[in-house]
Structure 1
Amino acid sequence: MYQFLVSFTVRPEHRDDFVRAAGRTARDSLAHEPGSHRFEVIVDAENPDVFYLNEVYADLEAFETHAGGPYFGAFFAEASAYAEGPTWLMRGNLVGDNATAR
């Protein structure tokens, strides 16, 4: 499985907008993209202006399908107006016995 963690810094007056946009992307991606397995929106414990997206896909190809799809594009079209990022914090493939999709 292909996984990554990215961060965004969001202007304070747009935190709710970011959460809504990311949540909508998560919902739509998980419902309509078979290779999407997890899409979590996380707020930093110390800085409420920093958000993380923790995503898991069946493989790199599934992520590339997501990145070329309508939900990804709509999210960036909106969020780029008030958020800086993404900053890639981690990306790679799961290894070992837990590497199979469930």
Structure 2
Amino acid sequence: MYTVAVSFTVPAERRAEFVAAALEDGRRSLADEPGTRAFDLIADAEDPDRFYLYEAYDDEAAFEAHCAGEHFARFFAAVSDWAEGPTWLVRGTRVPDPVAG
């Protein structure tokens, strides 16, 4: 499984707009993109203007397909003029534990 995590910092007056755009991107990606497995929006516990996206895909190709898709484009069109990010935090392949299964 290929996973990514990014952070965004948004102006306080645009928080609701960012949340709506990110959640819409996640819902549509999970519904329309077969390789998308998880799409979570996380609000920072200490900074109300910082958000994290955690996403999981079948493989890197599925992630690249997401990046080339309409939901990704719509999200960035909505937030790119005022959101700072994405700042990459994690980008890689999950290492499964062969003992745990």
Structure 1 portions without partners, runs of 5+? none
Q: 1: CA distance between counterparts of 2:56 and 2:20? A: 20
Query: In structure 2, what is the equivalent of residue 37 of structure 1?
Result: 37
Q: Give, in angstroms, the shift of residue 96 of structure 1.
A: 2.1
What SS does the corresponding residue of 1:48 show, helix, strand or coil?
A: coil
Kindly state the Cα deviation for residue 97 of structure 1 after the two structures are TM-superposed.
Answer: 3.6
Secondary structure of 2:4's partner?
strand
Aligned position for 1:6: 6
AA of the residue aligned to 2:65: T
Matched, 1:83 2:88: no
SS at match of 1:52: strand
Q: How does 1:1-102 map to 2 (within 5 A)?
A: 1-97=1-97
The secondary structure found in structure 2 opposite 1:8 is strand
Q: Over residues 1-26 of structure 1, what are the superposed CA-to-partner deviations in whole Å (9 max), with x where a residue is unaligned? A: 00011000000000000000000000
1:46 match: secondary structure: coil
Alpha-carbon offset, residue 54 of structure 1 = 0.3
Letter in structure 2 aligned against 1:42: I
How many residues of Structure 1 are paired with residues of Structure 2 in the alignment?
98
Q: Which runs of 4+ in 1 moved over 3 A?
A: none
RMSD (Å) for aligned C-alpha atoms: 1.0
Q: Deviations over 1:22-45 (max 9, x none)?
A: 000000000000000000001100
Give the % identical residues: 55
Question: Mind listing any 5+ residue stretches in structure 2 that lack a counterpart?
Answer: none
